[in-house]
Amino acid sequence: MSPILRNAILVASVFCCGLGGLAVTRWQQPSLAQELVAPAETVSASVVDPSRIEGHAKCVDCHAREIKAWQASKHATRAFDLLRTAPTSLEYAKKLGIRPEDIARNSLCTTCHATQQRDEVGRLHILSGVSCEACHNASGGEDGWLNAHAVYGPRGTRREGESAEHYAQRTDACEKAAQFRSANAYQLVKRCFDCHVVSNEALAEAGHDHGDGFEFVKKALGEVRHNFFLDRQTNAEVATLWTDALHHAAGRNAAGRKRVLFVLAQLIDLETSLRSLATATDENDFSALMVERIEDAWGLLAEDLLEELTETEIPEVAQATEAVKPVLDKLDDDGFAPEDKKLYLDAALKVSQAAKKFAARSGNKLEELDDLDLVPKGPFDGVFHP
């Protein structure tokens, strides 16, 4: 077995729910406390395995500029501080039965506002801020992606000297080790929506619902932008390795990538909202919000986008919007019903399949989208520059 494969074999996809400080894998049943506060299936963030979290200090040797950009962002500062300073934190905690002293150290809240880390004896630690691994997935362990993602071949091989065969092995190993790479836009964008759409019914009913204020392109190309790997002096608009022709087809550019990210975000918003609606237990504010999100995302894709395009066909988007029509018809005729869960999930699966296919596009042939004035053009707020 090659070193690259030995160092990055498949990480078991372990996701935890941070209620009561207990990690819950897909093979374990939720604890009684979790069932009372927020059922495991409704927790919004598919949080990475805390026992594999290494912390941003392990990234700084190779990604010093990226770390500086992160440290200047709200992900690193405001996200965690809100748990201790925002009056609404106490309000939500009281409604969810979380003690004030546990909000920032032992609660559901830290799955999105911080990074959970579990040590070798099982103790839970909270790393302040939404860190590298909160977005790119936990990297540690003998079969993790931390070391594997930066090994370009035999000892001493630099990135530009990596063979095509080794590159294929490395990226495959990192995918299997569950690294959320910039090259896999579907994974990475979906990770953002895990937190930026509150899919926990109890939390949303407590008042923390996020509304509809999350525009992915503005955020991703704004203050959370950190693309310095190929040019240490320039914070590129999109991931520099994605536009690098060394291991990719030439011609990829930021304009095309932005088009893809914009449409992909609408598809993932649609998928996430459908899955969230399937967890709703009643016709309440939470289910109403999810229905509104579904209608808005569908309307943008089916009406503002597909109907306005005259020369460009996007079959993936057409497939996704067609798959959601039965849901919209049922909602229009009968309203939300918990027993329609399968209908919502079936539509979400079809949207997911279409989104994954669409994510592979370069976006270069989607120039007509620019004429529709839907894709944010920038300049984007809060960008870090060295």
CA 47 to mean position of chain CA atoms: 10
Residue after which a domain boundary falls, among 151, 181, 211 = 181
Of how many residues is the chain composed? 386
Asked if 109 and 249 sit in the same domain, the reply is no
Asked if 22 and 154 sit in the same domain, the reply is yes
Q: What is the pLDDT of residue 106?
A: 87
Q: How many structural domains compose the chain?
A: 2
* Burial of residue 359 (number of CB atoms within 10 Å: 0-12, 13-18, 19+): buried
CA distance 47 to 200: 13
CB neighbour list of residue 169: distance below 8 Å, 6 or more residues apart:
2, 4, 5
User: Phi first, then psi: what are they for 11, rounded to 5°?
Assistant: -85, 130
- As separate numbers, helices (DSSP H) first and strands (DSSP E) second, the chain gives 17, 2
Asked if 338 and 373 sit in the same domain, the reply is yes
Asked if 85 and 5 sit in the same domain, the reply is yes
pLDDT tens for the 386 residues of the chain, in order: 343 333 333 323 222 333 223 222 222 222 322 322 333 333 334 457 999 999 999 999 999 999 999 999 999 999 999 999 999 999 999 999 999 999 999 899 999 999 999 999 999 999 999 999 999 999 998 899 999 999 999 999 999 999 999 999 999 999 999 999 988 899 999 999 999 999 999 999 999 987 667 899 999 999 999 999 889 999 999 998 888 888 777 889 999 999 999 999 999 999 999 999 999 999 999 999 999 999 999 999 999 999 999 999 999 999 999 999 999 999 999 999 999 999 999 999 999 999 999 999 999 999 999 999 999 998 999 999 98
User: Which residues is 124 bridged to in the sheet?
Assistant: 118
User: Which residues is 47 bridged to in the sheet?
Assistant: 16
CA dihedral over 196, 199, 200, 201, signed as positive or negative: positive
Task: Please state whether the peptide bond connecting residue 326 to the residue before it is cis, i.e. omega within 30 degrees of 0.
Answer: no
CB-based contact 265:217 (threshold 8 Å): yes
Asked if 149 and 197 sit in the same domain, the reply is no
Q: What is the pLDDT of residue 212?
A: 65
Query: Running DSSP on this structure, what letter comes out for residue 299?
Result: H
Asked if 277 and 131 sit in the same domain, the reply is no
Asked if 152 and 208 sit in the same domain, the reply is no
CA distance 339 to 283: 12
Q: Could you list the residue range(s) of the whole structural domain that residue 89 is in?
A: 1-181
CA angle 54, 55, 59 (to 5 degrees): 95
Asked if 187 and 168 sit in the same domain, the reply is no
Which contacts (CB < 8 Å, 24+ apart) does range 116-121 have? 116/16, 116/18, 116/47, 116/50, 116/53, 117/50, 117/53, 117/55, 118/23, 118/50, 118/51, 118/53
Torsion of CA 327, 329, 330, 333, to 10 degrees: 160
Q: What is the pLDDT of residue 209?
A: 83
Residue after which a domain boundary falls, among 164, 181, 198 = 181
Asked if 5 and 111 sit in the same domain, the reply is yes
Asked if 128 and 75 sit in the same domain, the reply is yes
Residue after which a domain boundary falls, among 135, 157, 181 = 181
Asked if 44 and 152 sit in the same domain, the reply is yes
End-to-end alpha-carbon separation of the chain, Å? 41
Query: Running DSSP on this structure, what letter comes out for residue 31?
Result: P
CA 243 to mean position of chain CA atoms: 21
Asked if 65 and 121 sit in the same domain, the reply is yes
Cβ atoms within 10 Å of 179's Cβ, excluding its own: 24
For 235, the 3-state DSSP assignment is coil
